[in-house]
Structure 1
Amino acid sequence: MKYLIIGLGNIGPEYELTRHNIGFLTLDRLVDKEGGSWKSDRLAFKSEVKYKGRMLHLIKPTTYMNLSGKAVNYWMKELNISKENILVLVDDVAIPFGKIRMRAKGSAAGHNGLKNIEALCGGKDYPRLRMGIGDNFPKGRQVDYVLGRFSQQEFDELPSMMDKAIEMIYGFCTIGIAQTMTQFND
């Protein structure tokens, strides 16, 4: 069994520790824990991790957030992985910071990265791991918030949040989405 795990984010040092890059940060942590490394490949940084007999192909698109679908579509086809076996890690302002929810499908909810994946990969029916970054911003300042760096308190809490997300990724690939949602969703 093989899976495509996509962490959404933006490339470049100015985006590295921003809320919008929580998908990148979580996959970086997973690869570090497994002793792996990243290589630059077509439209993405790519790594592979074996877990309990499953091959996890991890990508961080280099297309920037709003064109993430281009990389996802390419790697789904290149690796011959169906939508049921992909998982997109994404920041979500509608969920309080630290909470994580896995969904089998859903709307983009205004998230441009998810909108582009929907447009290029055939709709909304793909699994996603929504990582709460909260909505502590004034009206009209959402872009500044998601592209802003984590507060010190958030940064301190980030490792445990990412570790839970990694457990959920492993669950998705072993026990399946339904059982993982039951066991882990906040």
Structure 2
Amino acid sequence: MKLVVGLGNPGPLYLGTRHNVGFEAVDRLARRIAPPSSCIPKSRFGGLVLDTEIAGEKVMLLKPLTFMNLSGQSVAEAARFYKLETETQLFVLVDDIALPCGSIRIRSEGSAGGHNGLSDIESKIGSAKYARCRIGVDAPGRIPQADYVLGKFREEQRAPVEDAINTAVDATLCWLQSGLTEAMNRFNRRSADETPRSAELNS
């Protein structure tokens, strides 16, 4: 079994905000891999859950509804229930202000980089060794970071962000089907090749 988690904040107030690109990515993934008739999430583990299968393996998609800073509660509860080895069975989709819009970066482990959602996951599962796909949302510049990530994308940011979300979905599918090394080799290289164009759009 594999667990794919998209991070964000629940409720209409946060729709379309930079902090919610993880939610957007997991929603888009659900539409790609699950039949429309089954795309009805259930409430479990303090979040919304969709159970499906890829190539005969069970896959659970999870959107924690605990708000970003407490995401680890939901993730840890699901991981404990299914006795997951988080190093190989957990994949987290999350926003990143250190990356330009239009780019993604996949890592097998690492620091939370100041991201409260990742920090809480690491605290609750007791490890930083889990795969994460960071989706670039640009640096806040002079805007306070909390205001920036809870704000909506500027018009010129939206197109590259849409591309990045689609790429993140492709990367997640690659992880599910071919493993982390293949996903990193394919999509980190692609993202690096495309970053100059994305950065130019935002200059």
TM-score range relative to shorter protein = over 0.9
Note closer, same or farther for the CA distance 1:153–1:49 as it changes in structure 2 (3 Å cut): farther
TM-score (normalizing by structure 1):
0.94
User: Percent identical across equivalent pairs?
Assistant: 37
Counterpart position of 2:128: 124
- Structure 1 residue 59 displacement after superposition: 0.4
RMSD: 1.3
Q: Within 5 Å, which residues of 2 pair with 1:64-83? A: 64-83=67-86
- Structure 1 residue 74 displacement after superposition: 0.1
Q: Deviations over 1:14-47 (max 9, x none)?
A: 1111000000011111112332222222300001
Counterpart position of 1:155: 158
The structure whose residues are more often helix, as a share, is 2
- Distance (Å, rounded) in 2 between the aligned partners of 1:162 and 1:53: 25
SS in 2 for 1:145: helix
Q: Within 5 Å, which residues of 2 pair with 1:99-114? A: 99-114=103-118
- Structure 1 residue 75 displacement after superposition: 0.3
Aligned partner (choices 54, 59, 66) of residue 57 of structure 2: 54
- Structure 1 residue 80 displacement after superposition: 2.2
Gaps of 5+ in 1: none
Contact 2:101/2:161 (8 A) holds in 1: no
Q: Deviations over 1:75-118 (max 9, x none)?
A: 00112221121001110001111110110001011111111111
Counterpart position of 2:195: none
TM-score (normalizing by structure 2):
0.86
Counterpart position of 1:98: 102
Contact 1:104/1:127 (8 A) holds in 2: yes
> Which 4+ runs in 1 deviate beyond 6 A?
none
Contact 1:19/1:146 (8 A) holds in 2: yes
Q: What number of residue pairs does the alignment pair up?
A: 184
Gaps of 5+ in 2: 192-203
SS in 2 for 1:14: helix
